[in-house]
Structure 1
Amino acid sequence: MEDYTVCTRDFSCVAGTRIVSQLRNEQWIRSPCILGVDEAGRGPVLGPMIYASAFCPQSSDISDRGYADSKTLTHEAREKLFRAINTDMGVGWVAHIMSAQHISHYMLGKDKVSLNSLAFDATCHVIRSALESGANIKQIYVDTVGDADRHRERLSRAFPGIDFTVCPKADSLYPIVSAASIVAKVIRDKSLVDCQQILRLQGEVGTGYPGDAATLAWLKGHIHPVLGFPPLVRHSWETCARMLEPPEAVSIKFEADDADGDGAAGTSQQRLNFTRTSGTSLIESSGLGRHIFFRVRKLQRVTEVI
């Protein structure tokens, strides 16, 4: 059985799955199955967000296995239940891991992607991975954040022929969603520890939520005045933006961000000015006829530099 070490050195977005090799020869996956989806780590400013699915035959009664909303369980109880799920050949699971760096990259990128969009894509991933393993999924239960009806309609369009039940607190109502909740929470907790060790980050991080005093203290102790925070931190969170202000951090202003700058009206090419001229102003070109490398980066010719 594969280990569930989930943090990689490049902190890329990792999709982890144990089910394909373990369950492909199990006959029950070809019978009608139910699947539950839940997440862990949506709100924290530290660490990854994990989406997980768990699935089993419709005919299985898993109501007596102690599965519950992972937030209501102790760390020891979650670990014990995860080990039981992981060794149960009558249950499959999938985990999709989005690192803090991955989340920040998409939320702060040129073409911004919302956290809800990332969450929807992750939900589709854990469902699709279960289907690709050969599981005959007929009914899916999803814990939702936001409008449940709209979420159900989008999922139904993405996976026609499957019946979806989408509602808040599904992890408390449906044992198969509770199982997914346990998988997601255990993997997030382990990933957070693994990432700290790999990055050699010291100190108590607390729960990772912005309202946690221990987490805020850890963040303040790990600010680089120019580079910001280490990769464990979601720079896209407002908590980080507020902290990256003087005097804790250095204020950096780019000429292209100046509303009164030459490029404000979009009539001329913006430039980044790293030098001073000796009495001669820089003449901006239109960029026409220049290589795309220079036009995309809005780089200008500099004729005289001190």
Structure 2
Amino acid sequence: MAEIIEDVQMDTQEIEQETPPSDVFMAPSIYKADIQAGKSYSHFSPIPQQVAEDMSTEVVLGVDEAGRGPVLGPMVYALFYLPIELHHSLLADTHHFDDSKVLTPQVRSNLMRKLCTKGSDLYQAGGWATRLLSAQDISAHMLSPAVYNLNAQAMDATIDLIKGVLAQGVNVTEIYIDTIGRPEIYQKKLERIWPTIRITVAKKADSLYPCVSAASVCAKVTRDAALDVCYEPYHNHDAGVDESAGGAEVKVAWGSGYPSDTRTSTWLKQNMDPLFGWGNECRFSWSTAKELLEGKKADVAIDWPVEDDSNDMRMTDFFAGRNESGGDELVDWFGKRVTEEMEVF
């Protein structure tokens, strides 16, 4: 049974906090080609100097995410680590990290820029990593016959990021993780994987532990920048003319990407292809998109490709050999449009 994602109802101020600023910092974790192609990927910063000089240094690591609920754009998991003795003094006392939702977009961008600026105290002491889960991959996994739900995808993203840091030889002795689900179940699973590391999984960890706050900023700024990159192909398409402004051209943005944002819901309705829906920036598994496509607004009935019970053939088998593409059928299917380069027989 597919996991149901309920839209989080937000007030105007919360929606603005979730909306990417026009001058969002493009961190090294932004791979434009992969984002626009609907691919998921991971990014790891270099090991910070203060850790690299002595790899036995005990390190604290925090994990948080951004973009779990939106219908548009990726979900991003991030971690941040630094020497334990600097945990509170550098992050909380000096730079005032906090849950990204209570920081202004400008403050978040400025903090992320400092993390990425060589020579800064944050760059020398702290390392970070992100795992970007594209909207296309999230939907493909949630709608596949063997459902891979969002919680499982999130857990695997967290584990993969931590494993990536440990594989570099970083001496992580404490881990703090923010969670939406039941913390005790999450924590026990991680403790079985890393029994020698002290692990704390807690709700609102992003406001309790500075390393999680820093991870929250890394995740949110990466998510904001990625959403901006996703929108680039629509810049000219969504340009309009505002007669009240003397005919000046006005861009119609999709806002925060959350269904409760009227800019987002309006954009989805105005830009829906009756057959293909939207591009790979949209989570087709969200009820907001499914309802628009499957009858309420669409004029064309949609049948997603599934295996035929009577044999082992799929629709896509007529276009490519079973073993030729090496990809995921549903991942490759979403958001494809017929172009001039594609011949239809």
Amino acid of the structure 2 residue aligned with 1:101 = Q
Report the equivalent of 1:158.
193
Q: Does 1:82 align with 2:117?
A: no
The Cα RMSD (Å) is 2.8
Deviation at 1:244, TM superposition (A): 1.0
**In 1, are the aligned partners of 2:177 and 2:205 still within 8 Å (CA)?**
yes
Report the equivalent of 1:173.
208
Report the equivalent of 2:78.
52
Deviation at 1:160, TM superposition (A): 2.4
Matches within 5 A, 1:216-235: 216-235=265-284
Deviation at 1:195, TM superposition (A): 1.6
**In 1, are the aligned partners of 2:51 and 2:57 still within 8 Å (CA)?**
no
> Larger deviation: 116-125 or 82-91?
82-91
Matches within 5 A, 1:117-156: 117-156=152-191
CA distance in 2, matches of 1:29, 1:196: 41
Report the equivalent of 2:18.
none
Report the equivalent of 2:43.
16
Report the equivalent of 1:112.
147
Quick one: which of 256, 259, 262 aligns to 1:210?
Answer: 259
Q: 3-state DSSP class of the match of 2:111?
A: helix
Deviation at 1:269, TM superposition (A): 5.3
Amino acid of the structure 1 residue aligned with 2:30 = T
Deviation at 1:83, TM superposition (A): 1.4
Change (3 A) 1:182 1:66: same
Change (3 A) 1:162 1:272: closer
Where has structure 1 moved over 4 Å in runs of 4 or more? 22-25, 198-201, 268-273
For structure 2, the 5+ residue unaligned runs are 1-26, 118-122, 239-251, 316-320, 324-345
Deviation at 1:210, TM superposition (A): 1.1
> Larger deviation: 88-97 or 152-161?
152-161
Report the equivalent of 1:242.
291
Q: 3-state DSSP class of the match of 1:51?
A: strand
Higher helix share: 2
CA distance in 1, matches of 2:200, 2:126: 20
For structure 1, the 5+ residue unaligned runs are 258-262, 274-290, 294-306
> Larger deviation: 6-15 or 90-99?
6-15
Amino acid of the structure 2 residue aligned with 1:136 = N
Deviation at 1:19, TM superposition (A): 2.5
CA distance in 2, matches of 1:125, 1:11: 20
Aligned residues: 267
Amino acid of the structure 1 residue aligned with 2:294 = E
Q: Does 1:193 align with 2:228?
A: yes
State the structure with more CA Rg: 1
Quick one: which of 55, 65, 73 aligns to 2:103?
Answer: 73
Report Cα offsets for 1:176-211 as digits up to 9, x if no partner: 100000000000000111121146563311111111
**In 2, are the aligned partners of 1:28 and 1:57 still within 8 Å (CA)?**
no
